[in-house]
Structure 1
Amino acid sequence: MNAKSEVASTGRDTAKLLVAVFLLIGGIALFYLFEEYSLLLRVLGLLAITGGAIAVALQSVPGRNVWDFAVAARTEVRKVVWPSRQETIQTTLIVFAMVLLIGIVLWLFDMMLMAIVRSITG
């Protein structure tokens, strides 16, 4: 948990986020508008505009909150103890065996119910 105090979002933050959104929309529009230029140049331009939009968005409180969340999530993922290859294979085989077993049980139950319905309906 973070002990940081929450800072309320202001009208400036909303304006910054709107500028970032308009930058992205403008970048996408320019990407398709300058269709006669090479794809590489258009993609590089779009990436530059996207980077600028991200930089503007990170200047706002919600943008910093998203960035802090991403950093915290990355830290938590690094703490995870991932299973070894052998554990993964064993778990996968157990799942396959259980699916097969439950499938057979349900198939037998279905056949039994079908036999009961046939005997009742004639």
Structure 2
Amino acid sequence: MQKVFGFIREARAELKKVTWPGKQQVWYSTLVVIFVTLLVAVYLGIVDMALTGIFSRVIG
């Protein structure tokens, strides 16, 4: 049990050393993640439609 309490104590000490991002940095990072996700979704949608069209003509 002593090891568990020691681990928790060390973890809390390490978390105090962390430089947490500010509100603006979190907001910009969130926007970047949303933008990249939408970009990848559009790209994969286009590739999916193209491959569906190609395979439906070949098999079809």
TM-score, normalised with respect to structure 2:
0.95
5+ residue gaps, structure 2: none
Paired position in structure 2 for 1:90: 28
- Give the aligned residue type for 1:94: V
Runs of 4+ in 1 over 4 A off after TM superposition: none
Give the length in aligned residue pairs. Answer: 60
Instruction: Note the aligned Cα RMSD (angstroms).
Output: 0.6
Is 1:101 paired with 2:46?
Answer: no
5+ residue gaps, structure 1: 1-62
Three-state SS of the structure 2 residue aligned to 1:82 is coil
Paired position in structure 2 for 1:74: 12
Larger RCO (CA under 8 A, 6+ residues apart):
1
Bigger Rg over Cα: 1
Q: What is the 5 A alignment of 1:10-29?
A: none
- Give the aligned residue type for 2:57: S
Between the aligned residues of both structures, percent identity stands at 35
**1:105, distance to aligned residue in structure 2 (A):** 0.2
Three-state SS of the structure 2 residue aligned to 1:71 is helix
Three-state SS of the structure 1 residue aligned to 2:8 is helix
Is 1:116 paired with 2:54?
Answer: yes
**1:96, distance to aligned residue in structure 2 (A):** 0.1
Alignment partners' CA distance in 2, 1:101 and 1:64: 50
**1:118, distance to aligned residue in structure 2 (A):** 1.4
Alignment partners' CA distance in 1, 2:2 and 2:58: 68
Deviation per residue, 1:1-43 (Å, 9 max, x gap): xxxxxxxxxxxxxxxxxxxxxxxxxxxxxxxxxxxxxxxxxxx
